[in-house]
Structure 1
Amino acid sequence: MNWIWFVLIGLVIGFAAGMIVSRFTLKSYLKKNPPINEQMLRQLGASMGRNLSQKQINQMMAQMKKNY
Structure 2
Amino acid sequence: MATWIWILIVIVALVIGLIGGFYGARKYMEKYLKENPPFNEDQLRQLMLQMGQKPSQKKLNQMMHTMQSNMGKK
Same fold (TM over 0.5): yes
Normalising by the residue count of structure 2, what TM-score does the alignment of the two structures yield?
Answer: 0.84
2:21 to 14, 18, 21: 18
Specify the structure having the higher radius of gyration (Cα). 2
Q: Distance in 2 between matches of 1:11 and 1:49?
A: 51
Which has the higher relative contact order, 1 or 2, with Cα contacts under 8 A spaced 6 or more apart?
1
5+ residue gaps in structure 1? Answer: none
1:15 maps to a residue whose letter is: L
Q: Distance in 2 between matches of 1:33 and 1:9?
A: 36
Q: CA RMSD in A?
A: 1.0
Runs of 4+ in 1 over 4 A off after TM superposition: none
Q: Distance in 1 between matches of 2:6 and 2:51?
A: 62
Identity score, percent: 47
Query: Residue 69 of structure 2 corresponds to which residue in structure 1?
Result: 66
Count of paired positions = 68
Normalising by the residue count of structure 1, what TM-score does the alignment of the two structures yield?
Answer: 0.91
